[in-house]
Amino acid sequence: MLDDVIASDIQVIKSLVLSELHSVLSSKEFTKPMKVVINQLIKVSTCNLNQHSLSFSTNLKNLSTAIATASSSKSSYLLTPELSIPGYGCEDHFLESDTELHSWEVLATLVNSHESNCIVDVGMGIYVNGARYNCRVIFGREGIVMIRPKTSLANDGNYREGRYFTAFSGPTFAYTLPPCYTSLLTHPQTSCPFGLTPLKSLDSITLTSETCEELFTPSSPHITSSLSGVQIITNGSGSHHELRKLNQRLELIISCTKKCGGLYLYSNQRGNDGGRLYYDGSSLIVLNGEVLAQASQFGLKDVEVVSATVDLSEVDSYRGSRPSFGEQSRGNKTTFITLNTHITLPSTSPRHERTVSTSSPLKLSTPEEECLLGPACWMWDYLRRSSSSGYFLPLSGGADSSAVAAITYVMCDLAYKEYSTKTNYEVNETVERIMDGKVCESTEILCGEILHTTYMGTSNSSIKTYERSKNLAEKIGSYHLTANIDDMVLSVLSVFAKCTGKEPAFTSRGGTKREDLALQNIQARMRMVLAYMLAQLLPWCRGKSGFLLVLGSGNVDECLRGYLTKYDCSSADLNPIGSISKVDLKSMLKFAADKHGLTVLREIVEAPPTAELRPNEGENEHSQTDEDDMGMTYEELGVFGRLRKIGRCGPVSMYKKLLSRWPELSAEEVAAKVNRFFFYYAVNRHKMTTITPSYHAENYSPDDNRFDLRPFIYDSSWSWQKDALEALVENERVGFC
């Protein structure tokens, strides 16, 4: 059996080599006097696509639009994102045969309807001989040219490709296409090459793929491909947004083509495809380290195609000018699969079509823009895909809920601007559904229909937070209410008193710490109950149909320390800021204040964060502050959070790192801070098991459900680790290291 497979593989390789040989022998260069080719002009395209996992009709529509756009601009090649047919984020659905079946059906529809000369590169999972691969499928008007499987899977952080796919290795072989695909074809095809062999067009343009993670590995396929003379590298990706990450990704592409030369096409998904991640587009075309075209990182367009016209002789010229490249390239012998098409721009095409693209600087957003725009676009997709009529936000007048309000306002601003162009069908449809017959004439009008905010005060609330909440709501135009929830709290306390015979009191009124905490928590929890009631019935109160999604506004640092009441307003439907640090949120708020004229946000940032759950003893601002309550500052929490997750530190290594980072503190003080942090982290970790799904923005996100996989019942004494720390402190005291 195995012998048969090997024999058939050898046969296929032989036939591939023979076909290559045949194409060389029959090529014009060989049989006719040498024609000097000065330019190899080619127009190529790549795209951002807002694919939605398992929504095959949406994905087909987006792919067809992208193909039509690239074809009408006479592009020879169109690259689309990783797994662009089913959507990148299908996760365990990749294990279902239905996902592959529907992908073949979509592919057949695309192939049957393809009429232009553009070669199209799409992505889907394919099960072959006992293993499922994450594949690129490259097709033209005559059918599939080849299938290229991924060789290095993404398995870190949010990625679990190894759970669904196998990394490919091995020779290229002839793959028999499945009947579910072949039975749908209008031009019959029964097999195609499956493997890593690069392609060569009839006009000798050479091309190969690497897929997303392969670019990030030390021995990326583009290195050997470039040394073998392959001119074009394509990379279809599914890469998510993280603050300050884009430049790392794009600089990798730029530096690889600076080092190896070549034309690099990068395509990324963009949008929320059904989970916590936002894929941030930024598809790119780079030639020899120069950016020729870049699609946007954030936005509400489902399809964004960018193209460039390139003189490919510049690749050979660039490589040829570096003897060291030649030395490493010498002796690389590559077999190519013949791509039965010409992909150069014909010299007869109009001159303006033959004008080569010039380089432009890389466009990068600031972290403040990223914090505003990433979650805003993610929320827009959530809104339209959940078919809800808007959002409900408990607006306390503090920094966190105000940040969520600002992000929602920016979402409305993006939607209103897109709507005003009247060219974006999907945005128009959603805006009109939400406006429900009313005219949409400004961002604020749209915000008034989408965003519902409520200040839910108690006798412990201050006039300051009430006013900030009201002012912000007025400025952004949200539908705002004010509620006093004292009656709700008193009712629960009265039921409690009746059934237990006990009446808890705040510490300032003679109660214990336990009573004090319980009295705080009940206020916070009542807000959540009212929030859900309002979200369900506010559209009804306003004579509208539908329901609202409840927005949560806990930030990453509070979650890490567990400084939140379980099942208070931190429990919601979605949280746009759940993995953004307080420090980043504050600078985002200042930026939004200036950019959108929301001046009240400045006042909000400058106020000390407070929960306002104890009786107020202050005169102006509330006397209860978060940082006092927590026993650590938000800035310190950011440091602990990064060291714990990104730095992979336990108590001992965190102490060692902080000792040099905080030289102004004694060893005892550093150890005490580390111990305190790990204690609270351990006793509160259970809160992360039920935390609201939030936009993934930070590498130090403590999200237990997808990203930060750790236990939730800890030995919170950390006795072994504490002893080790004590010994280190003692060493420090007596002068050893």
Ligand X SMILES: NC(=O)CC[C@H](N)C(=O)O
Ligand Y SMILES: Nc1ncnc2c1ncn2[C@@H]1O[C@H](COP(=O)(O)OP(=O)(O)OP(=O)(O)O)[C@@H](O)[C@H]1O
Ligand Z SMILES: Nc1ncnc2c1ncn2[C@@H]1O[C@H](COP(=O)(O)OP(=O)(O)OC[C@H]2O[C@@H]([n+]3cccc(C(=O)O)c3)[C@H](O)[C@@H]2O)[C@@H](O)[C@H]1O
Residues labelled as active-site residues:
82, 150, 212, 396
Tokens of 5: 């497979």
Site for ligand Y in 353-392 (CB under 6 A): none
Nearer to ligand Z, 330 or 513 (CB): 513
Q: Phi first, then psi: what are they for 286, rounded to 5°?
A: -125, 135
Nearer to ligand X, 203 or 213 (CB): 213
Name the one range near ligand Y by CB under 6 A: 136-144, 384-392, 455-463, 642-650: 455-463
Which residue's CB atom is positioned nearest to ligand Y? Answer: 398
CA dihedral 213, 219, 222, 223 (to 10 degrees): 160
Kindly state whether residue 120 participates in binding ligand Y, applying the rule CB under 6 A.
no
- The option from ligand Z, ligand X, ligand Y, none interacting with 686 (CB < 5 to 8 A, set by class) reads ligand Z
- The option from ligand X, ligand Z, ligand Y, none interacting with 629 (CB < 5 to 8 A, set by class) reads ligand Z
Tokens of 488: 């709700």
Contacts with ligand Z, 68-87, as mask; x by CB under 6 A: --------------------
Kindly state whether residue 431 participates in binding ligand X, applying the rule CB under 6 A.
no
Name the one range near ligand Y by CB under 6 A: 167-175, 263-271, 452-460, 494-502: 452-460
Site for ligand X in 238-277 (CB under 6 A): 238-239, 249
SS (H, E, C) 678-703: HHHHHHHHHHHHCCCCECCCCCCCCC
Kindly state whether residue 82 participates in binding ligand X, applying the rule CB under 6 A.
yes
Kindly state whether residue 394 participates in binding ligand Y, applying the rule CB under 6 A.
yes
Residue 579: partners with Cβ closer than 8 Å, 6 or more residues away: 556, 694, 695, 696, 697, 698, 700, 701, 703
CB of 684 to ligand X, least distance (A): 29
What distances in angstroms separate CA 641 from CA 150, 299, 636, 645, 716, one per listed residue? Answer: 33, 30, 9, 6, 17
Kindly state whether residue 427 participates in binding ligand X, applying the rule CB under 6 A.
no
Site for ligand Y in 611-630 (CB under 6 A): 611, 626
Kindly state whether residue 621 participates in binding ligand Z, applying the rule CB under 6 A.
no
Place of tokens 């809104």: 383
- The option from ligand X, ligand Y, ligand Z, none interacting with 553 (CB < 5 to 8 A, set by class) reads ligand Y
Name the one range near ligand X by CB under 6 A: 100-108, 234-242, 554-562, 717-725: 234-242
What distances in angstroms separate CA 85 from CA 35, 235, 575, one per listed residue? Answer: 41, 15, 28
Strands 191-194 and 199-201: unpaired
Kindly state whether residue 529 participates in binding ligand Z, applying the rule CB under 6 A.
no
Residue 248: partners with Cβ closer than 8 Å, 6 or more residues away: none
| Three-state DSSP state, 480 | strand
- The option from ligand Y, ligand Z, ligand X, none interacting with 281 (CB < 5 to 8 A, set by class) reads none
Side chain identity at residue 589, one-letter code: L
Q: How far apart, in whole angstroms, are the C-alpha atoms of residue 215 and residue 251? A: 11
Q: How far apart, in whole angstroms, are the C-alpha atoms of residue 114 and residue 60? A: 13
Q: How far apart, in whole angstroms, are the C-alpha atoms of residue 260 and residue 224? A: 9
Site for ligand Z in 536-595 (CB under 6 A): 558, 562-566
Place of tokens 């393809």: 114
CB of 237 to ligand X, least distance (A): 6
Paired with 266 in beta bridges are 235, 284
**∠ Cα 458 464 467 (to 5°):** 90
Tokens of 295: 């699609």
CB of 419 to ligand Z, least distance (A): 36
Beta-carbon neighbour count of residue 734 at 10 Å? Answer: 6
Which of 62, 235, 408, 461: binder of ligand Y (CB under 6 A)?
461
**Count residues contacting ligand Z (CB under 6 A)?**
16
Q: How far apart, in whole angstroms, are the C-alpha atoms of residue 189 and residue 187? A: 7
Kindly state whether residue 413 participates in binding ligand X, applying the rule CB under 6 A.
no
Contacts with ligand X, 125-164, as mask; x by CB under 6 A: -----------------------------x----x-----
Contacts with ligand Y, 534-553, as mask; x by CB under 6 A: -------------------x
Place of tokens 């026993």: 631
Which of 85, 291, 524, 632: binder of ligand Z (CB under 6 A)?
524
Which of 709, 713, 734, 737: binder of ligand Z (CB under 6 A)?
713
CB of 164 to ligand X, least distance (A): 12
**Beta carbons of 623 and 413 less than 8 angstroms apart:** no
Longest dimension (CA), the chain: 105
Q: How far apart, in whole angstroms, are the C-alpha atoms of residue 612 and residue 223? A: 59
Kindly state whether residue 212 participates in binding ligand X, applying the rule CB under 6 A.
yes
Kindly state whether residue 284 participates in binding ligand X, applying the rule CB under 6 A.
no
Which of 609, 638, 641, 651: binder of ligand Y (CB under 6 A)?
609
**Beta carbons of 66 and 47 less than 8 angstroms apart:** yes
Instruction: Give the footprint of ligand Y on this chain (CB under 6 A).
Output: 394-396, 398-401, 455-457, 461, 527, 553-554, 558, 564, 568-569, 609, 611, 626
Instruction: Give the footprint of ligand Z on this chain (CB under 6 A).
Output: 517, 520-521, 524, 558, 562-566, 611, 613, 626, 629, 686, 713
